[in-house]
A and B are shown apart, each in its own frame.
Chain A
């Protein structure tokens, strides 16, 4: 930790002394691969994913050329400060701690959570009344755990698991009535799996922010305010003209 801190401080010092904000025509973006489906390589070795497609689209709108630079997660912020690249677009959740070091764009994606139950379940919605006396599964210490504990702790039994796999096992064993999971995780482990009949109950959930966070943002160096502003404008553009939905559709399938 100390080392990391000193490295980032060094990065800050270097960044502060050397350069003023400048205009970019070539933006290098740091990314930690793989993290499917946000960023990963195809079997042919080509870099792809939601972040990659959206990032390339944004660069085009901003009018710069993009280059993706792979960087392990634990060094990704120091790498930005050390000017190995100019931005990070790697499923990075916006939070106050990181805000002190880097400058975030507007959030471009909030990973939703969702309720999953066996297809035979008669649950239709997830109000406190309908889950009364049910057994809910969550992964211990996740934001889903916090949400369920506060909202349903008084009416339902909550089983907390160390891993999502244990939870899926207990759902198959019919020990759980319903589980609350990251939507992409639940989709790949429950909905898309063979021979297993599960359904999503109710809407995907991204609110309130207090539990589900601010979502993913693109990180820039603090002084590159102009660049961040240009990306924000481009982001708004793609969200309005439907390009964003197309990319979303490509990686996350149909909206229910």
Chain B
């Protein structure tokens, strides 16, 4: 352990930009970005599954509001949504005295809300598309077995829809990671925020941004690898035999 820290100190010696302090900022940024992206994806996914099912409902009063929601959130830039949620809410009268304020005061939760609503909208559409693409024959077979609508959804449609949606959803996860870079405009010290800080402090755009780009690449690689693993497992039945 001592060896490592000595080695680390030697490595940093004479380096004006990548001191222990700035690396600390990058580390904090990595933690913030990971939390933000992970939480918004998980919550977004949980929201998206029922929304995607209801999006295909026969009743316009269920179908249309969901369509409207996904249309608005897919039709406006995430940055604008973030601005509205972060700066907009403070113009609601009395918000500072309400029970919501401790949550909205910090930059983290408005950002989390914006990201969650955004990714939930995209994921809803991805799943909805996958559900619609269920093979006619599978549904007819399920009906022939006398399955109820719910049972059919649970046993037949959703499992195969998830598999079909997997590659598209993997893309959405990567997009979300990259979209999270805008969190720094509302003072969050995420990875990009750390890079902007180091850039502004040392006037060193190349070092600051190349380093952070490398971290994003590593994160993207991890996500890609994870989804490739999932696809291998879950889509095994689609692989050619030999």
Contact = CB atoms under 8 A, between A and B. Distances in A.
A160 B87 contact: no
How would you classify the secondary structure of chain B's contact residues: helix, strand, loop or mixed? helix
Contact of A159 (B87, B96, B187): B187
B11 interface: no
Contact of B200 (A145, A174, A175): A145
B185 interface: yes
Contacts of B215: none
A232 to B, nearest CB: 31
A169 B87 contact: yes
Contacts, number: 35
B196 A140 contact: yes
Given A146-B201, A173-B90, A173-B96, A159 B107 contact: yes
Interface in B85-108: 87, 90, 96, 105, 107
A177 B187 CA distance: 15
Interface residues of A, number: 16
A149 B197 CA distance: 11
A213 B187 CA distance: 26
B185 A172 contact: no
A140 B197 contact: yes
Given A140-B200, A174-B105, A160 B90 contact: no
A17 B90 CA distance: 64
Contacts of A20: none
A160 B185 CA distance: 9
A169 to B, nearest CB: 6
Contact of B185 (A145, A146, A162): A162
Interface of A: 140-141, 145-146, 149, 159-162, 166, 169-170, 172-175
Report the 8 A-B pairs with minimum CB-CB distance, sorted nearest first.
A141-B200, A173-B90, A159-B187, A140-B200, A174-B96, A175-B105, A160-B187, A169-B87
